[in-house]
Amino acid sequence: MSSKLYFRTIADLAAALDAKQLSSVELTQAVIARTHAVEPCIHAFNSFDEADALAQAAASDARRAAGQSCGPLDGIPIGLKDVIAVTGQPLTASSKMLKDFVSPYDATVTTKLKKAGAVLWGRLNCDEFAMGSSTENSAFGPTGNPWDPTRVPGGSSGGSSAALAAGEAIATLGSDTGGSIRQPAALCGVVGLKPTYGLVSRFGLIAFASSLDQIGPFTRTVEDAAIVLGAIAGHDERDSTSFQAEIPDYRAALTSQRGPWKLGIPKEYFATGLDPEIAASVEKAIAFYQSQGCEIREVSLPHTQYCLDTYYVIATAEASSNLGRYDGIRYGHRSTAAKDAVDIYAHSRAEGFGPEVKRRIILGTYVLSSGYYDAYYLRAQKVRTLIRQDFLHAFRDVDALLTPTSPMPAFKIGEKADPLALYLCDIYTIGVNLAGLPAISVPCGFTKSGLPIGAQLIGQPWKESNLLAIAHAYERAHDWSAQFPIF
Amino acid sequence: MSSAPALDIDHIAKLARLALTAEEKARFAQQLGDVLHHIEQLAKVDVTGVEPTAHASPIFNVWQADVAQPGLTVADALRNAPAQRDNMILVPKVVE
């Protein structure tokens, strides 16, 4: 455990708050001070509101003093990716298009966190409209990786992973469409969980690719992930893909669900292109589970090579449709160069969107356009069925799959200029979104140059309890989460 | 889908309502040509008799009771409008 408040876990801080050894105002002040100290170097936040956070903290302290604590998140500062709506606060998606937008309502996850007593702390940088794998696509500038600020924190939820790793929040939320929680978690040495599609409401999340998007937590430990997931999961009638599943006690499941488990190792995830140091660290994690009596089986996901292409057809098609709403009429940037009403659309969009967003809108419009729909979009949806069947077939024999999260550690800001090279960052995470599965990235070591490495565990649909317990068993026997960046 | 088709960037930009510069058009056409070339390998997959998956959630239709719920106030709904007057959003004249 760190002696520094801002590096401690939710579980540990909740105990200290309950024991009156600490107040939420003190904790929030420590996080605010830390944020001021490191932001010039990290730039994880697009905006924050200190007075608002301290007022929430004071209200939390009053609840605890009156014996009315809402639970372990009461008084804990949690940062939100700047694609999740909080009433009265800016919501930009890191885009010039929404530079001045203020949320008129709360996302469902925001409502749930407020109900749990969390101190909502700031809006975190990301790739514009969550499109990217490095947070370099933000209209407000890149975020630095706390382990080496000249490197990227991953993306698209790079502000969420960097803020947590740097001690600027105790937990954060991100969104994951193709790996946007797990990959930045791996690159910043924290835990990142992408829940089963439909477990967490998307109401109030700025839509990128609606059939793939899912909100999830970044935390220091698997136990903290279980705590946050328990607070944000659950059916919501305002999201028609939200599932009526019973929400178990994820935290209790960490110890009640015991192995040994059967773990599958998909051979396609250890092929060429994987950094040898990452391969070695993940092999050690496999050896750990084996030493605990788990059965390790090689499995095959034969359509893995088609995941990236399937994803870029489906995600861009959905994005081109979702982003049609940014037309400069009702909200968002409106061009003053336009001559007539129709001209407003094209110029507002040209001025408001950055290059990666434009590229994806163009690609998505193309694959949906007359004459190409069957060849691209419909075909990709069929291949998606095969990709999902691969996973479900593998799960007949194993409880979870163990893979690397990212083929490479954090790379230098500006290093990957070619869009296609950047798209390859997501090769191990994309299949999970296409199949709608839950997956978690947990820290599993460091490269020789001191950069964090993450291992990904992929679970069966709706079996987050099992997935978290498997991850917890590994984490408990290792001390990766007790290491912090020094800067 | 036997070979990468040419992407008519002017046509697609018009459909997408994006006023691209000449430089953007040239750059995107080249970059997206590379991406499309990559995507061509989807043509190799045998999808005979395979049903498409729209999303992975086991939900296919959702009905809700038609009951009025509290919504945004006019002020909240107009808060982010680029131009407004008399509780309405202002736009340039559409018809002469």
DSSP annotation of A150 = T
Give the residue from chain A lying closest to B54, CA to CA: A381
- Digit-by-digit pLDDT tens for chain A (487 residues) are 678 999 999 999 999 999 999 999 999 999 999 999 999 999 999 999 999 999 999 999 999 999 999 999 999 999 999 999 999 999 999 999 999 999 999 999 999 999 999 999 999 999 999 999 999 999 999 999 999 999 999 999 999 999 999 999 999 999 999 999 999 999 999 999 999 999 999 999 999 999 999 999 999 999 999 999 999 999 999 999 999 888 999 999 999 988 899 999 999 999 878 999 999 999 999 999 999 999 999 999 999 999 999 999 999 999 999 999 999 999 999 999 888 878 899 999 999 999 999 999 999 999 999 899 999 999 999 999 999 999 999 999 999 999 999 999 999 999 988 877 888 889 999 999 999 999 999 999 999 999 999 999 999 999 999 999 999 999 999 999 889 997 6
At a CB cut-off of 8 Å and minimum separation 6, what does B48 contact?
none
Backbone CA torsion sign across B3, B4, B8, B14: positive
Q: Does B76 touch chain A (CB under 8 A)?
A: yes
How much of chain B is in helix, strand and coil states, percent to nearest 5?
Answer: 35, 5, 60
Spatial distance between the Cα atoms of A101 and A328, rounded to a whole number of angstroms: 12
DSSP annotation of A293 = T
Q: What is the per-residue pLDDT for A1?
A: 61
CB B42 to CB A240 under 8 A? no
H helical segments located in A144-181: 158-165
Residue A277, helix vs strand vs coil: helix
Angle between helices A222-232 and A10-18 (to 10 degrees): 70
Q: What is the per-residue pLDDT for B3?
A: 46
Measured CA to CA in angstroms, residue A482 lies from A3, A8, A31, A221, B76 at distances of 11, 9, 18, 9, 45
Residue B11, helix vs strand vs coil: helix
Q: What is the per-residue pLDDT for A84?
A: 98
Report residue A150 as tokens: 């000249």
Q: Report the catalytic residues of A.
A: 81, 156, 180
Kindly provide the ipTM of the predicted complex, given to two decimals. 0.93
For residue B59, the chain A residues in CB contact (below 8 A) are: 198, 240-241, 243
Within 13 A of A460's CA, how many CA atoms are on the CB side? Answer: 17
The DSSP line for A423-435 is: HGGGTTTHHHHHH
CB A384 to CB B53 under 8 A? yes
Summarised one tens digit per residue, pLDDT across range A251-291 is: 999 999 888 999 999 999 998 789 999 999 999 999 999 99
Q: What is the per-residue pLDDT for A245?
A: 82
Q: Does B35 touch chain A (CB under 8 A)?
A: yes
Q: Does B74 touch chain A (CB under 8 A)?
A: no
Angle between helices A355-368 and A307-322 (to 10 degrees): 100
End-to-end Cα separation, chain B, in angstroms: 45
Q: What is the per-residue pLDDT for A258?
A: 87
CB B59 to CB A378 under 8 A? no
Q: What is the per-residue pLDDT for B58?
A: 72
Within 13 A of A91's CA, how many CA atoms are on the CB side? Answer: 23
Of B15, B54, B92, the CB nearest to A381: B54
Q: What is the per-residue pLDDT for B2?
A: 40
Neighbour tally for A374: CB within 10 Å: 9
The DSSP line for A178-244 is: SSTTHHHHHHHTSEEEEPPTTSB--TTBPPSSTTT-EEEEEESSHHHHHHHHHHHBS--TTSTT---
Specify the pairing of strand A262-266 against strand A295-299. parallel
Residues of chain A with CATH 3.90.1300.10: 5-264+400-482
Q: Does B90 touch chain A (CB under 8 A)?
A: no
- For chain B, residues with pLDDT lower than 70 are 1-5, 96
For residue A237, the chain B residues in CB contact (below 8 A) are: 62, 64
Neighbour tally for B74: CB within 10 Å: 11
Domain annotation for chain B: domains and CATH numbers: 1-45 (1.10.20)
For residue B20, the chain A residues in CB contact (below 8 A) are: 350, 358
A5-264+400-482, what's its fold?
Answer: Amidase signature (AS) enzymes (3.90.1300)
Q: Does B79 touch chain A (CB under 8 A)?
A: yes
Q: Does B70 touch chain A (CB under 8 A)?
A: no
